[in-house]
Amino acid sequence: MAANILIVEDETSILELIALNLQQAGFNPIRAINAEYADNIVKETVPDLIVLDWMLPGMNGIEFLKRLRGNSLTKKIPVIMLTAKSEEDNKIMGLNAGADDYLTKPFSPRELVARIKALLRGRSPELIDEPITISELNLNPQTHQVQVDDKLIKVGPTEFKLLHFFMKNTEIVFSRNQIINKIWGNNYDVDERTVDVHIKRLRKNLAEVGKNKLIHTIRGFGYKFSEK
């Protein structure tokens, strides 16, 4: 569920520093110590954002970036470039090559996280855990609360995940299998009917505040969360 962020950085101390901070900020860091390695990772799982060091052994950052931009699958991934202070001029080259933002070393991890959030907010807001309100129903991932006005609603762990997922993806119909993959994970083996049961439980919870109608059954296809 958390955004996958690929970090391409050859200095392992910095790599770890970044990874740790991203983890703390609720992201899922993926480490790569050079561009070749990163390239392989990208082929397997397209990350949601890339933090890319300018100076890398072998294929350098710019080259890797150009490659990313040349492929339709990876063309749109937001990229933040890391440059050393002395290479300041490179930032122009970096931005020209298609970087979305850049940061000069040394930088504060806090700022990096802030910039990542800023970029993700623009591109894929569903990946940052911000509070969501839909027809007075408010879900706050930080406080782990669901409420209407000031009335708190008790919701079990799985139901919470389910509701969060729905509220991040309103109006879209999901099959039971899609829901299982999103909530339980890809290689999890649960019965399709189990989804029905959790939907039922969630509806029961929401019924306390009269919001159970937000979850719609699409007969033959699955479920969707909709205001309409």
Partner DNA sequence: ATTTATATGTCATCTATATGTCATTTTTAA
Partner DNA sequence: TTAAAAATGACATATAGATGACATATAAAT
Residues 41 to 100: which contact a second copy by CB under 8 A? 43-46, 72-73
Least Cβ distance, residue 58 to a second copy (angstroms) = 19
The distance of Cα 73 from the centroid of its chain, to the nearest Å, equals: 17
Residues 132 to 171: which contact a second copy by CB under 8 A? 142-144, 152, 156-157, 171
N- to C-terminal Cα separation, the chain: 26
111 binds, among a second copy, DNA, none (CB under 5 to 8 A by kind): a second copy
Say whether residue 24 binds a second copy (CB under 8 A): yes
Interface residue with DNA among 197, 210, 213, 227 (CB under 7 A) is 197
DSSP 3-state assignment of 171? coil
Interface residue with DNA among 117, 164, 168, 198 (CB under 7 A) is 198
Q: What residues pair up with 104 in beta bridges, in sequence order?
A: 83
Say whether residue 44 binds DNA (CB under 7 A): no
- Distance in angstroms (rounded) separating the CA atoms of residues 8 and 58: 12
Give the phi and the psi of residue 71 in degrees, each rounded to 5.
-105, 130
Interface residue with DNA among 6, 199, 206, 214 (CB under 7 A) is 199
Interface residue with a second copy among 60, 138, 181, 194 (CB under 8 A) is 181
178 binds, among DNA, a second copy, none (CB under 5 to 8 A by kind): a second copy
Nearer to a second copy, 150 or 193 (CB): 150
Say whether residue 190 binds DNA (CB under 7 A): yes
- Distance in angstroms (rounded) separating the CA atoms of residues 4 and 12: 19
Site string for DNA, 152-181 (x = CB under 7 A): ----xxxx----------------------
Whether residue 109 is preceded by a cis peptide bond, meaning omega within 30 degrees of 0, is no
- Distance in angstroms (rounded) separating the CA atoms of residues 39 and 63: 11
How many other C-beta atoms lie within 10 A of the C-beta of residue 163? Answer: 24
Instruction: Say which residue the tokens 């052994």 belong to.
Output: 57
Instruction: Say which residue the tokens 């200095």 belong to.
Output: 11
Say whether residue 28 binds a second copy (CB under 8 A): no
Token representation of residue 72:
């339709």
Interface with DNA by CB under 7 A: which residues? 156-159, 184, 189-191, 193-194, 196-200, 203, 217-222
